[in-house]
Amino acid sequence: MAAIRISAMKTAKAGEIIELKALIRHKMETGFRRGSRGEAIPRDIITHFVCLYNGEAVFEADFFPSVAANPFLIFYTRATESGTLEFRWTDQHGTVSSQTANISVES
Amino acid sequence: MRHFRWPLIGLLLGALSACGEEPASDSVRETGLAPDTIVSGYAFLTPETQSEQDDDFLNPANLWVDEGGKLFLSETGVSAACASCHGEGDMRLDGAATRYPTIDHASGELVNLEGRINLCRTRHQQADPLEYESEPLLSLTTYVASLSRGQAISTALSTDEQVFYEVGKTYFNTRRGQFNLSCRECHDLNWGKQLRGDTISQGHSNGFPAYRLEWQTLGSLHRRFRDCDAGIRAEPRTYGSADYLALELYLRVRAQGLPMETPAIRR
């Protein structure tokens, strides 16, 4: 599985807007480049990212060949209840890499 | 204390030892850069890239530090993990990277951090050496170098190292390639000026292995050397070659105590 770095608060107040950061290691090969012998380097990219908050999607993104290697996302959501945040990347072959973070929400 | 224990744990300690046993001279050597003008490659980055390097989460090179930290803790082949010797006590590796390249006392050869890790693997871990520029070796090197982050690069030069230093200095100052340029032409004489869209840096090694935006990945100092040589249309040396090791030693001394920035981001 790819190397992943997640940043999320462990505790938050109910209703608070929280910042989430997600970094994954991936070469994001565009498919437009050629190797030293002129051969085409095949495309190899992550195509989809989703963040699930207790199973519900709170942020989604589609990736395309112009996204740089090791894509990094910062996004926000509202802390509603204690539970799990799952960060899930799917590449063009359907391989899924994911990591979870727990959050506890105080009312 | 350290020297008393040397015969007992010499083999292990030798793996990533402190300064050599010869008296080392710390005096500032004359290089092509005036000592008061020396700045890290960091100074030539845009403010955005600087803040990316400064943010421990954002800095993508930390992906390799994480990976290297895992490898450091995990057992290799039939032997113990790096951390079983270097995890605590006298043999911790904080600051070790500041002294590389240096002489391996067992063989008398000049080794850099990559070379030392591979020597450690073959001598103490009964493991195969890792291929230069392979992901595991890059990760381990980056992790070990990151343990010295913020510490000054050593300018100490033992008498044994002096020979290699001169070789490196000659490499640095020798014109080569179709463009007939030496390292000196750019990094001593014209740093701070524009080369197309880029500002020429002083060519210090204190951030390597570094994440280069041009590579979109992390690479070793020797990969950077190869890019420089290819850029002036000279024939790049192989990874780990004697010329590059000597050049690496020259750069260590030339940096005159700049703090280590690994894992750094460079253009």
Residue B192 sits in a domain whose CATH number is 1.10.760.10
Mean pLDDT of A13-24: 94
* Domain ranges, residue A49: 4-106
How large a percentage of chain B has pLDDT more than 70?
A: 88
Q: Provide the pLDDT confidence category of residue B23 given band limits of 50, 70 and 90.
A: very low
- How does DSSP classify residue B96? G
What pLDDT digit, counting tens, does each position of B181-219 carry?
A: 999 999 999 999 998 888 999 999 999 999 999 999 999
How large a percentage of chain B has pLDDT more than 90?
A: 74
Confidence check: pLDDT of A8 > 80 = yes
Q: Are A86 and A98 in contact (CB under 8 A)?
A: yes
Tally DSSP H helices, then E strands, for chain A: 0, 8
Nearest to B136 by CA among B120, B118, B111: B118
Q: Are A24 and A3 in contact (CB under 8 A)?
A: yes
- In this structure, is residue B236 part of a structural domain? yes
Q: What's CA B239's distance to the chain center, in Å?
A: 13
* Domain ranges, residue B194: 35-46+152-266
Total domains, chain A: 1
pLDDT for res A36 = 87
CA atoms within 13 A on the CB side of B158: 17
Category of A86 on φ-ψ map: left (φ > 0), alpha (ψ -120 to 50) or beta? beta
Confidence check: pLDDT of B6 > 90 = no
State whether residue A76 sits within 8 Å of chain B by CB: no
Catalytic residue among B85, B120, B186, B228: B228
What pLDDT digit, counting tens, does each position of B122-150 carry?
A: 998 888 999 999 999 999 999 999 999 99
pLDDT for res B18 = 43
- List the 5-44 stretch of A: residues with Cβ below 8 A of B: 5, 7, 21, 23, 25, 27-28
Q: Provide the pLDDT confidence category of residue B25 given band limits of 50, 70 and 90.
A: low
The shortest C-alpha distance from A69 to chain B (Å) reads: 6
The number of beta carbons lying within 10 Å of the beta carbon of residue B238 is 11
Q: Of B60, B67, B217, which is closest to A23 when you measure between CB atoms?
A: B60
CA B50 to CA B144: how far, in whole Å? Answer: 22
Instruction: Give the mean pLDDT of chain B.
Output: 88
- In this structure, is residue B241 part of a structural domain? yes
What pLDDT digit, counting tens, does each position of B46-66 carry?
A: 999 999 999 988 899 999 999
**Cβ neighbours for B165, distance < 8 A, ≥ 6 positions apart:** B157, B246, B249, B250, B253
- In this structure, is residue B4 part of a structural domain? no
> Are the beta carbons of A5 and B67 separated by less than 8 Å?
no
The alpha carbon dihedral of A65, A71, A72, A73 has a sign of positive
Mean pLDDT of A30-49: 94
What pLDDT digit, counting tens, does each position of B77-91 carry?
A: 667 899 888 988 888
pLDDT for res B26 = 53
What is the edge-to-edge ordering of all strands in the sheet holding A11-13? A11-13, A96-106, A83-91, A46-53, A56-62
Confidence check: pLDDT of B67 > 50 = yes
Residue numbers in B near A7 (CB within 8 A): 57
Rg (chain B; Cα; Å): 18
Q: State yes or no: is B85 an active-site residue.
A: no
Mean pLDDT of B244-263: 94
CA A46 to CA A31: how far, in whole Å? Answer: 13
Total domains, chain B: 1
CA B163 to CA A31: how far, in whole Å? Answer: 47
pLDDT for res B100 = 94
Mean pLDDT of B79-104: 90
**CATH number, domain at A83?**
2.60.40.10
Confidence check: pLDDT of B5 > 50 = no
- Cβ-based contacts under 8 A for chains A and B: 28
pLDDT for res B49 = 94
